[in-house]
Amino acid sequence: MSLKVTLLGTGVGIPQPGRSQAAILIENERPLLFDCGAGTLLRLDQAGTSLEALDTVVLTHLHLDHVSDLLALANARYLSELPGLEVYGPEGTEVYLAILKNAYPNLGRMQIAVHELVPMDSFSVKGFDIFAEEARHSVTALAYRIEAEDRIIVYSGDTEACARVAALAQGADLLIHECSFPEPFDVTNHTTPRKLGEMLCNCGAKRALLTHLYPQAQGYEDEMAEIVANLSGVPTETAWDMMTLTI
């Protein structure tokens, strides 16, 4: 049996055509959502994913472009009289959600079960075995290795090119990695094509998708993917919203 991957959101906090904020849907008969930035509810509807089926979200970190629609998703389930939402995320997730709920007293009965994670944690949910690793970002952030049906998918979240995520990607069938800016940008907390391509040398990943693109990347998408592929030897594409793959 194969896994279905839908890139619901491939953008950042700055609006741009064709890219809503970060969200990835992975389906193994049942759907599992990674990140939930602004626009995710609309993209889920476009993907034909029912609220009833989607009851679990895994967060990489708590920046707004990765969590903007999380409370809205929980509220939509509440209004639809569905059971509460389960959320896995880095340390700080429970406090973050408690603060949000306090801002909306009418949502006091809305249930959100939080499971906080640290690097090297592993857990199983919805038929997926998931391993968390530290990413290198401006806040506490996690990358994930997701395994099911003899398939391996790795999602970087937001990160600089780093050895821990490179190790996580060893032998992956699909690596979904942020690549925020084109060359010759030199940035911290995010990845550029050259640094990502150098990081992926000898990692053995079978395929890579670039996501989390800033507006500065517009017009350079193919070039960015080509740089990564040429340096790493890993077939690479730049993702767009609603791109769907079968792994």
- Catalogue the active-site residues: 65
Q: Could you give the CA distance from residue 230 to residue 208 in angstroms, rounded to a whole number?
A: 12
Contact of 141 with 61, CB cutoff 8 Å:
yes
Q: Could you give the CA distance from residue 67 to residue 133 in angstroms, rounded to a whole number?
A: 19
Beta strands in the chain (DSSP E): 4-9, 23-28, 30-34, 56-58, 85-90, 112-117, 122-125, 128-134, 142-148, 151-155, 174-178, 208-211, 236-238, 243-246
Residue with tokens 């626009």: 39
How many helices (H) and strands (E) would you count in the chain? Answer: 7, 14
Pick from 108, 104, 55: nearest CA to 80: 55
Contact of 209 with 176, CB cutoff 8 Å:
yes
Output helix, strand, coil percentages for the chain, rounded to the nearest 5. Answer: 25, 30, 45
Pick from 180, 156, 158, 167: nearest CA to 238: 180
Q: Is 154 helix (H, G, I), strand (E, B) or coil?
A: strand
